[in-house]
Chain A
Amino acid sequence: MNSDTCNYLDGNAAAGELSRIFTMDVTAAEGCCAQCGTIKRFAEAHLYMQCPGVVARCPACQHVLLRLVNVGQQVFLDVRGLTYLRLNTA
Protein backbone atom coordinates (compact mmCIF):
# COMPACT_ATOMS: atom_id res chain seq x y z
CA MET A 1 0.00 0.00 0.00
CA ASN A 2 1.22 3.48 -0.70
CA SER A 3 -0.09 6.99 -0.56
CA ASP A 4 -1.53 6.60 -4.03
CA THR A 5 -3.73 3.62 -3.21
CA CYS A 6 -4.50 5.08 0.20
CA ASN A 7 -5.75 8.46 -0.99
CA TYR A 8 -8.76 8.45 1.33
CA LEU A 9 -9.57 9.37 4.91
CA ASP A 10 -12.37 7.92 6.98
CA GLY A 11 -15.71 8.91 8.42
CA ASN A 12 -14.03 10.73 11.31
CA ALA A 13 -12.73 13.33 8.85
CA ALA A 14 -16.22 14.27 7.66
CA ALA A 15 -17.73 14.38 11.14
CA GLY A 16 -17.20 18.11 11.60
CA GLU A 17 -18.86 18.89 8.29
CA LEU A 18 -21.73 16.49 9.04
CA SER A 19 -22.17 17.92 12.55
CA ARG A 20 -23.74 20.95 10.86
CA ILE A 21 -26.55 18.70 9.66
CA PHE A 22 -26.78 15.81 12.10
CA THR A 23 -27.27 16.60 15.76
CA MET A 24 -26.36 13.02 16.67
CA ASP A 25 -22.85 11.62 16.27
CA VAL A 26 -22.45 10.11 12.82
CA THR A 27 -19.09 8.39 13.27
CA ALA A 28 -20.47 5.74 15.64
CA ALA A 29 -23.66 5.28 13.60
CA GLU A 30 -23.97 2.00 11.73
CA GLY A 31 -24.61 2.42 8.04
CA CYS A 32 -25.90 -0.20 5.61
CA CYS A 33 -24.55 0.02 2.07
CA ALA A 34 -27.38 0.09 -0.44
CA GLN A 35 -25.24 -1.73 -2.98
CA CYS A 36 -23.67 -4.65 -1.14
CA GLY A 37 -25.48 -4.68 2.20
CA THR A 38 -22.30 -4.38 4.28
CA ILE A 39 -23.00 -2.83 7.66
CA LYS A 40 -20.19 -0.80 9.21
CA ARG A 41 -19.75 2.19 11.45
CA PHE A 42 -19.67 5.40 9.44
CA ALA A 43 -16.19 6.01 10.91
CA GLU A 44 -15.00 3.13 8.70
CA ALA A 45 -16.29 4.64 5.45
CA HIS A 46 -13.65 5.77 2.98
CA LEU A 47 -13.82 9.54 2.68
CA TYR A 48 -12.71 11.53 -0.33
CA MET A 49 -12.55 15.16 0.58
CA GLN A 50 -10.00 16.50 -1.90
CA CYS A 51 -12.60 17.20 -4.54
CA PRO A 52 -15.46 19.60 -5.14
CA GLY A 53 -17.47 17.95 -2.37
CA VAL A 54 -17.43 15.24 0.27
CA VAL A 55 -17.81 11.66 -0.93
CA ALA A 56 -18.12 8.70 1.46
CA ARG A 57 -17.70 5.22 -0.02
CA CYS A 58 -18.39 1.74 1.27
CA PRO A 59 -15.08 0.19 2.35
CA ALA A 60 -16.21 -3.18 1.03
CA CYS A 61 -17.51 -2.35 -2.45
CA GLN A 62 -16.61 1.36 -3.01
CA HIS A 63 -20.22 2.30 -3.72
CA VAL A 64 -20.96 5.95 -2.93
CA LEU A 65 -22.78 6.00 0.42
CA LEU A 66 -23.14 9.75 0.87
CA ARG A 67 -22.20 12.93 -0.97
CA LEU A 68 -22.23 16.51 0.26
CA VAL A 69 -21.65 19.78 -1.59
CA ASN A 70 -21.62 23.27 -0.07
CA VAL A 71 -23.11 25.92 -2.32
CA GLY A 72 -23.02 29.26 -0.56
CA GLN A 73 -25.43 29.11 2.34
CA GLN A 74 -26.90 25.81 1.19
CA VAL A 75 -25.87 22.19 1.50
CA PHE A 76 -26.69 19.55 -1.10
CA LEU A 77 -26.85 16.12 0.54
CA ASP A 78 -27.27 12.78 -1.23
CA VAL A 79 -27.66 9.72 0.99
CA ARG A 80 -29.12 7.32 -1.60
CA GLY A 81 -26.15 5.01 -1.13
CA LEU A 82 -27.16 4.22 2.45
CA THR A 83 -30.09 1.92 3.00
CA TYR A 84 -30.06 3.28 6.52
CA LEU A 85 -27.94 5.00 9.09
CA ARG A 86 -28.54 3.93 12.67
CA LEU A 87 -27.75 6.82 15.00
CA ASN A 88 -27.76 6.84 18.80
CA THR A 89 -29.59 9.55 20.64
CA ALA A 90 -27.52 9.01 23.76
Chain B
Amino acid sequence: MWRIGTAVALQDETPTARTIRFEVPDWPGHVAGQHVDVRLTAADGYSAVRSYSIASAPNASRLFEITVERLPAGEVSPYLTQDVMVGDRLELRGPIGGWFVWRKEQAEPIQLIAGGSGIVPLMAMIRSRLSTGNAAPFRLLYSVREPKAVWYGKELQSLSEHDPSISITYAYTRATPKDWPRPPGRIDAALIANAAWPSSIGPTCYVCGPTSFVETAAALLTASGNSPDRIRTERFGPTGDRK
Protein backbone atom coordinates (compact mmCIF):
# COMPACT_ATOMS: atom_id res chain seq x y z
CA MET B 1 0.00 0.00 0.00
CA TRP B 2 1.22 3.46 -0.86
CA ARG B 3 1.62 6.07 1.84
CA ILE B 4 2.21 9.75 1.38
CA GLY B 5 5.45 11.13 2.77
CA THR B 6 6.45 14.75 3.02
CA ALA B 7 10.03 15.73 2.36
CA VAL B 8 10.95 17.66 5.52
CA ALA B 9 14.69 18.06 5.05
CA LEU B 10 17.23 17.83 2.26
CA GLN B 11 20.96 17.38 2.71
CA ASP B 12 23.56 17.03 -0.01
CA GLU B 13 26.07 14.30 0.81
CA THR B 14 28.16 15.00 -2.31
CA PRO B 15 27.54 17.11 -5.43
CA THR B 16 25.64 14.18 -6.89
CA ALA B 17 24.04 12.54 -3.86
CA ARG B 18 21.32 13.89 -1.62
CA THR B 19 19.67 12.66 1.53
CA ILE B 20 15.94 13.25 1.81
CA ARG B 21 14.22 13.02 5.16
CA PHE B 22 10.58 11.99 4.99
CA GLU B 23 7.82 12.33 7.48
CA VAL B 24 5.08 9.75 7.04
CA PRO B 25 2.10 10.06 9.40
CA ASP B 26 1.30 6.35 9.56
CA TRP B 27 4.87 5.05 9.27
CA PRO B 28 5.07 1.64 10.95
CA GLY B 29 8.78 1.87 11.68
CA HIS B 30 11.54 -0.08 9.95
CA VAL B 31 14.47 -2.39 10.54
CA ALA B 32 18.00 -1.52 9.40
CA GLY B 33 18.58 -2.81 5.86
CA GLN B 34 15.05 -2.36 4.58
CA HIS B 35 14.15 -0.14 1.66
CA VAL B 36 11.23 1.90 0.38
CA ASP B 37 9.74 2.15 -3.08
CA VAL B 38 9.19 5.73 -4.26
CA ARG B 39 6.55 6.37 -6.91
CA LEU B 40 6.50 9.52 -9.02
CA THR B 41 3.42 10.31 -11.09
CA ALA B 42 3.27 12.84 -13.90
CA ALA B 43 0.20 14.94 -14.62
CA ASP B 44 -0.85 12.61 -17.44
CA GLY B 45 -0.75 9.57 -15.17
CA TYR B 46 2.65 8.24 -16.28
CA SER B 47 4.44 6.85 -13.27
CA ALA B 48 7.86 5.52 -12.37
CA VAL B 49 8.83 3.49 -9.31
CA ARG B 50 12.33 3.11 -7.85
CA SER B 51 13.65 1.44 -4.70
CA TYR B 52 15.90 3.25 -2.21
CA SER B 53 17.43 1.84 0.94
CA ILE B 54 16.62 3.57 4.20
CA ALA B 55 19.75 5.25 5.55
CA SER B 56 18.56 6.16 9.02
CA ALA B 57 18.39 4.02 12.12
CA PRO B 58 15.07 2.64 13.29
CA ASN B 59 13.49 5.04 15.74
CA ALA B 60 10.17 5.76 17.35
CA SER B 61 9.36 8.76 15.19
CA ARG B 62 7.59 9.00 11.87
CA LEU B 63 10.81 10.08 10.18
CA PHE B 64 13.30 8.23 8.04
CA GLU B 65 15.92 9.12 5.44
CA ILE B 66 17.01 7.84 2.06
CA THR B 67 20.13 8.85 0.18
CA VAL B 68 19.79 9.08 -3.60
CA GLU B 69 22.57 9.22 -6.16
CA ARG B 70 21.91 11.20 -9.31
CA LEU B 71 22.42 8.94 -12.31
CA PRO B 72 23.17 10.81 -15.53
CA ALA B 73 20.64 8.83 -17.57
CA GLY B 74 18.25 8.36 -14.68
CA GLU B 75 14.58 9.10 -14.85
CA VAL B 76 13.78 9.40 -11.16
CA SER B 77 17.11 10.23 -9.50
CA PRO B 78 17.56 13.63 -11.20
CA TYR B 79 14.12 14.61 -9.92
CA LEU B 80 14.83 13.44 -6.38
CA THR B 81 18.31 15.00 -6.20
CA GLN B 82 17.54 18.30 -7.94
CA ASP B 83 13.83 19.07 -8.15
CA VAL B 84 12.32 17.89 -4.87
CA MET B 85 11.75 20.72 -2.43
CA VAL B 86 10.99 20.69 1.26
CA GLY B 87 7.26 20.30 1.59
CA ASP B 88 6.83 18.13 -1.49
CA ARG B 89 4.67 15.06 -1.03
CA LEU B 90 5.71 11.75 -2.56
CA GLU B 91 4.24 8.27 -2.57
CA LEU B 92 6.18 5.66 -0.63
CA ARG B 93 5.71 1.93 -0.17
CA GLY B 94 7.38 0.05 2.62
CA PRO B 95 9.37 -0.69 4.60
CA ILE B 96 10.30 -3.63 2.41
CA GLY B 97 12.53 -6.63 2.99
CA GLY B 98 12.96 -9.22 5.71
CA TRP B 99 16.24 -10.90 4.77
CA PHE B 100 18.79 -8.18 4.18
CA VAL B 101 18.25 -6.76 7.68
CA TRP B 102 20.26 -6.38 10.88
CA ARG B 103 18.34 -6.51 14.13
CA LYS B 104 19.52 -5.16 17.43
CA GLU B 105 19.13 -8.60 18.99
CA GLN B 106 22.00 -9.94 16.87
CA ALA B 107 25.10 -10.43 19.01
CA GLU B 108 27.56 -11.93 16.52
CA PRO B 109 30.37 -10.01 14.78
CA ILE B 110 29.19 -8.27 11.65
CA GLN B 111 31.06 -7.79 8.36
CA LEU B 112 29.71 -5.06 6.12
CA ILE B 113 30.93 -4.66 2.54
CA ALA B 114 29.69 -1.67 0.53
CA GLY B 115 30.22 -0.87 -3.11
CA GLY B 116 29.44 2.76 -3.91
CA SER B 117 25.81 3.56 -3.13
CA GLY B 118 25.58 0.16 -1.41
CA ILE B 119 26.74 1.95 1.73
CA VAL B 120 23.19 3.19 2.42
CA PRO B 121 21.56 0.15 4.05
CA LEU B 122 24.81 -0.69 5.81
CA MET B 123 24.88 2.84 7.25
CA ALA B 124 21.40 2.20 8.65
CA MET B 125 22.83 -0.88 10.34
CA ILE B 126 25.76 1.06 11.79
CA ARG B 127 23.45 3.82 12.99
CA SER B 128 21.07 1.28 14.45
CA ARG B 129 23.88 -0.39 16.37
CA LEU B 130 24.86 2.94 17.85
CA SER B 131 21.37 4.04 18.81
CA THR B 132 20.51 0.73 20.45
CA GLY B 133 23.77 0.36 22.33
CA ASN B 134 24.39 -3.03 20.70
CA ALA B 135 27.96 -4.08 21.46
CA ALA B 136 28.63 -6.51 18.60
CA PRO B 137 31.86 -5.64 16.81
CA PHE B 138 31.40 -4.33 13.26
CA ARG B 139 33.85 -4.15 10.39
CA LEU B 140 33.06 -2.12 7.30
CA LEU B 141 34.85 -2.44 4.00
CA TYR B 142 33.73 0.48 1.83
CA SER B 143 34.72 0.39 -1.82
CA VAL B 144 34.38 3.71 -3.60
CA ARG B 145 35.88 5.42 -6.63
CA GLU B 146 37.77 8.18 -4.84
CA PRO B 147 37.77 10.01 -1.51
CA LYS B 148 35.28 12.66 -2.54
CA ALA B 149 32.79 9.96 -3.52
CA VAL B 150 32.52 8.79 0.10
CA TRP B 151 29.10 9.28 1.67
CA TYR B 152 28.69 10.02 5.41
CA GLY B 153 32.44 10.60 5.59
CA LYS B 154 32.53 12.81 8.70
CA GLU B 155 30.14 10.56 10.57
CA LEU B 156 32.15 7.44 9.74
CA GLN B 157 35.37 9.15 10.74
CA SER B 158 33.94 10.20 14.07
CA LEU B 159 32.67 6.69 14.71
CA SER B 160 35.94 5.00 13.98
CA GLU B 161 37.77 7.50 16.18
CA HIS B 162 35.50 7.08 19.18
CA ASP B 163 34.41 3.46 19.01
CA PRO B 164 37.13 0.82 18.85
CA SER B 165 34.58 -1.89 18.15
CA ILE B 166 33.78 -0.42 14.72
CA SER B 167 36.58 -0.52 12.21
CA ILE B 168 36.37 0.95 8.72
CA THR B 169 38.57 0.21 5.74
CA TYR B 170 38.25 2.18 2.54
CA ALA B 171 39.08 0.63 -0.81
CA TYR B 172 39.50 3.24 -3.53
CA THR B 173 39.12 1.96 -7.05
CA ARG B 174 40.20 4.95 -9.17
CA ALA B 175 42.04 7.55 -7.07
CA THR B 176 43.42 7.38 -3.56
CA PRO B 177 44.34 9.99 -0.98
CA LYS B 178 47.96 11.06 -0.96
CA ASP B 179 50.37 8.45 0.46
CA TRP B 180 47.65 5.82 0.60
CA PRO B 181 49.26 2.42 1.25
CA ARG B 182 47.10 0.54 -1.23
CA PRO B 183 47.12 1.54 -4.94
CA PRO B 184 43.73 2.14 -6.58
CA GLY B 185 41.96 -1.12 -7.34
CA ARG B 186 38.92 -3.25 -6.79
CA ILE B 187 38.48 -5.37 -3.72
CA ASP B 188 40.44 -8.59 -3.85
CA ALA B 189 41.38 -11.58 -1.74
CA ALA B 190 44.27 -9.75 -0.08
CA LEU B 191 42.00 -6.95 1.10
CA ILE B 192 39.48 -9.43 2.47
CA ALA B 193 42.29 -11.27 4.26
CA ASN B 194 43.64 -8.06 5.79
CA ALA B 195 40.51 -6.09 6.56
CA ALA B 196 37.56 -8.44 6.94
CA TRP B 197 36.75 -10.59 9.93
CA PRO B 198 38.39 -14.00 9.74
CA SER B 199 35.73 -16.48 8.72
CA SER B 200 36.63 -18.60 11.75
CA ILE B 201 34.84 -16.20 14.08
CA GLY B 202 31.62 -16.79 12.16
CA PRO B 203 30.53 -13.29 11.25
CA THR B 204 27.25 -12.52 9.53
CA CYS B 205 28.19 -10.67 6.36
CA TYR B 206 26.15 -8.06 4.50
CA VAL B 207 27.23 -7.10 0.98
CA CYS B 208 25.51 -4.34 -0.98
CA GLY B 209 26.24 -2.50 -4.20
CA PRO B 210 26.08 -2.96 -7.96
CA THR B 211 25.41 -6.54 -9.01
CA SER B 212 28.90 -7.24 -10.33
CA PHE B 213 30.46 -5.87 -7.12
CA VAL B 214 28.21 -8.03 -4.95
CA GLU B 215 29.02 -11.18 -6.93
CA THR B 216 32.73 -10.51 -6.65
CA ALA B 217 32.64 -9.66 -2.94
CA ALA B 218 30.39 -12.61 -2.04
CA ALA B 219 32.67 -14.98 -3.95
CA LEU B 220 35.69 -13.60 -2.09
CA LEU B 221 33.92 -14.13 1.23
CA THR B 222 33.06 -17.73 0.46
CA ALA B 223 36.57 -18.35 -0.86
CA SER B 224 37.96 -17.15 2.46
CA GLY B 225 35.85 -19.66 4.34
CA ASN B 226 32.55 -17.95 5.10
CA SER B 227 29.55 -20.19 4.68
CA PRO B 228 27.10 -18.93 2.01
CA ASP B 229 24.28 -18.96 4.52
CA ARG B 230 26.19 -16.39 6.61
CA ILE B 231 26.36 -13.99 3.67
CA ARG B 232 23.42 -11.73 2.89
CA THR B 233 23.40 -9.70 -0.28
CA GLU B 234 21.51 -6.87 -1.91
CA ARG B 235 22.18 -6.05 -5.55
CA PHE B 236 21.66 -2.71 -7.16
CA GLY B 237 21.67 -2.44 -10.98
CA PRO B 238 24.84 -2.21 -13.00
CA THR B 239 24.90 1.53 -12.54
CA GLY B 240 23.84 1.28 -8.93
CA ASP B 241 20.21 2.00 -9.77
CA ARG B 242 17.53 -0.49 -8.93
CA LYS B 243 15.59 -0.87 -12.19
Q: Do chains A and B touch in the complex (CB under 8 A)?
A: yes
CA A8 to CA B238, docked complex, whole Å: 8
B169 at the binding interface (Cβ < 8 Å) = no
B99/A25 in contact, CB under 8 A: yes
Q: Is A73 an interface residue (CB 8 A)?
A: no
Report yes or no: B37 in contact with A16, Cβ–Cβ below 8 A: yes
Contact, CB under 8 Å: A1 / B212: yes
Contact status B243-A15, CB under 8 Å: no
B229 to chain A: closest residue by CB: A41
The total of chain B residues at the interface (CB under 8 A) is 26
Contact across chains for B243 and A1 when beta carbons are under 8 A apart: no
Q: B-contacting residues of A (Cβ < 8 Å)? A: 1-13, 15-16, 19, 25, 27-28, 41-44, 49-50, 88
Identify which of B15-23, B90-98, B128-136 touches chain A.
B90-98
Q: Are A12 and B238 in contact (CB under 8 A)?
A: no
Given contact pairs A1-B215, A19-B93, A44-B233, A13 touches B243 in the complex (Cβ within 8 A): yes
A-B contact pairs, 12 of them (CB 8 A): A1-B212, A3-B238, A9-B237, A10-B235, A12-B35, A13-B242, A13-B243, A15-B97, A16-B51, A25-B98, A27-B97, A43-B99
How long is the Cα–Cα vector from A12 to B233 in the complex, in angstroms? 9
Give the docked Cα–Cα distance between A15 and B229 (Å).
20
Q: Do B51 and A43 touch across chains, with their CB atoms under 8 A apart?
A: no
CA distance A42 to B94 in the complex (A): 18
A7 to B210, CA, bound (A): 10
Q: 9 tightest CB-CB pairs across the interface, nearest first?
A: A3-B238, A25-B98, A6-B211, A6-B212, A16-B37, A28-B99, A43-B99, A27-B99, A1-B212
Would you give the shortest CB distance from A67 to chain B, in whole angstroms?
Answer: 17
Q: Which residues from chain B sit less than 8 Å from chain A, CB to CB?
A: 35, 37, 49, 51, 93-94, 96-100, 210-212, 215-216, 232-239, 242-243
CA distance A27 to B233 in the complex (A): 11
Contact, CB under 8 Å: B211 / A43: no
A43 and B239: CB pair below 8 A? Answer: no
B62 to chain A, nearest CB (A): 20
Smallest Cβ-Cβ distance to A44: which chain B residue: B233
Q: Is the CB of B211 within 8 A of A8?
A: yes
By beta carbon, the residue of chain A nearest B208 is A12
Q: A2-B238, A6-B238, A88-B98 are in contact. List 9 more A-B contacts (CB 8 A).
A: A3-B239, A6-B215, A9-B235, A10-B234, A13-B243, A15-B96, A16-B93, A25-B98, A27-B99
Interface contact B49-A27, CB-CB below 8 Å = no
Q: B242: which of A2, A9, A43 is its contact (CB, 8 Å)?
A: A9
B232: chain A residues at CB < 8 Å are 43
Q: Which of A11, A27, A88 is the most central at the interface, judged by chain B CB atoms within 10 Å of its CB?
A: A27
Collect the chain A residues with CB atoms within 8 Å of residue B237's CB: 9
- Contact yes or no, A43 B212, CB < 8 A: no
